[in-house]
């Protein structure tokens, strides 16, 4: 053959994979308005490799007011939880404490937004609720149906006569 030809075969290095999964747990799915609730986000890594550069989004909806958190670096303004690394087989937990502000159904969503490793069964940040890196909970604050009834202590009254009024508030 000719002496100006060569063959080069490049074999890419195998990419690290980390199968991240996220769940959410609320300590009280039916709180009263103004109650404080705790929302726990367990993030796990089914491996086989260590996950690094992880970001999880858990942005609280307007019906909840952020109070505090524990278990990691969390920016309450952006809803981003940063996890530097998570070993294969390990779990990390973020607990967010929030106050319920209004009645009505409240949906809280969490999802893995970023990881430096490939996740074999989900795509970070794609908002696909069918993937294991996405989780949500439904909180349904209790509501009270209060009514106020005012009844005089006597059926008829003459001008200048004192009347006692009885106030009742049944919770229907």
Cα–Cα distance, 119 to 93 (Å, whole number): 19
- Residue 4, phi-psi category: left (phi > 0), alpha (psi -120 to 50), beta (remainder): alpha
pLDDT at 113: 98
More confident residue, 79 or 3: 79
- How confident is the model over 23-45, as pLDDT tens digits? 999 999 999 999 999 999 999 99
pLDDT at 145 over 70: no
The mean pLDDT of 91-110, rounded to a whole number, is 96
pLDDT at 1: 58
Model confidence pTM above 0.95: no
At residue 18, the pLDDT reads 97
Look at residue 50 in the predicted model and tell me its pLDDT. 98
Residue 111 has what pLDDT? Answer: 98
Q: Is 19 exposed, middle or buried (0-12, 13-18, 19+ CB in 10 A)?
A: buried
């Amino acid at each position: 053959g000719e002496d100006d030809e060569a063959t080069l075969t490049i074999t890419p290095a195998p990419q690290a994979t980390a199968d991240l999964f996220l769940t959410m747990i609320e300590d009280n799915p039916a709180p009263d308005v103004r109650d404080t609730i705790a929302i726990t986000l367990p993030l796990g890594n089914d491996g086989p490799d260590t996950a690094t550069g992880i970001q999880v989004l858990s942005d609280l909806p307007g019906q909840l007011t952020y109070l505090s958190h524990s278990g990691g670096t969390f920016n309450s303004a952006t809803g981003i939880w940063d996890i530097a690394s998570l070993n294969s087989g390990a779990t990390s937990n973020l607990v967010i404490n929030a106050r319920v502000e209004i009645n009505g159904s409240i949906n809280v969503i969490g999802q893995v937004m970023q990881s430096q490793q490939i996740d074999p069964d989900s795509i970070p940040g794609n908002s696909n609720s069918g993937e294991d890196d996405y989780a949500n909970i439904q909180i349904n604050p209790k509501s009270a149906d209060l009514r106020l009834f005012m009844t005089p202590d006597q059926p008829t009254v003459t001008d200048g006569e004192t009347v006692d009024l009885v106030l009742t508030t049944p919770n229907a």
